[in-house]
Amino acid sequence: MPIGDVLNTGLEGFNRASQGVERATAEINRATVQTQTDEQQAQQRQLQAASSDEATTAPVSQPAKLDEALVNLKVEEFNAKANTQTIRTADEVLGTLIDIKV
């Protein structure tokens, strides 16, 4: 496999990992905002219930989305590190080949 192909593969993999990180962070942000909104609504209901003496329960949040997004973020971090190492190794091999040919 030519060294240029290895560099391109590493760069493409790193770009995919970067996009995955962006998707995961956006999902974390959405889950966090949704959780905050749910908590605010639950607090408002509790305040209203306290004033009208009604018993209400807080809505069940969706922690699975946040957990999944955090796992995806960590996976993409590992992918980025692996592709960075591929690029670094290809660079070192290319440098060695240039030194040998000169």
Please give the full DSSP string across 15-43, using - where no structure is assigned.
Answer: HHHHHHHHHHHHHHHHHHHHHHHHHHHHH
Q: What is the DSSP letter of 51?
A: H
Q: Are residues 41 and 91 in the same domain?
A: no
Q: How far apart are CA 84 and CA 52, in angstroms?
A: 60
**Residue 85 binned pLDDT confidence (cut-offs 50, 70, 90):** very high
Contact indicator for 31, 69 with CB cutoff of 8 Å: yes
Contact indicator for 35, 58 with CB cutoff of 8 Å: no
**Average pLDDT over all residues of the chain:** 84
Q: How far apart are CA 22 and CA 90, in angstroms?
A: 26
**Residues of the domain holding 97:** 57-101
Q: Are residues 20 and 50 in the same domain?
A: yes
Q: Are residues 50 and 1 in the same domain?
A: yes
Q: Are residues 61 and 82 in the same domain?
A: yes
Q: How far apart are CA 18 and CA 84, in angstroms?
A: 11
The total number of structural domains that make up the chain: 2
Q: What pTM does this model have?
A: 0.67
Q: Are residues 30 and 43 in the same domain?
A: yes
Q: How far apart are CA 42 and CA 78, in angstroms?
A: 37
- pLDDT of 4 reads 82
């592709």: which residue's tokens? 83
- pLDDT of 22 reads 96
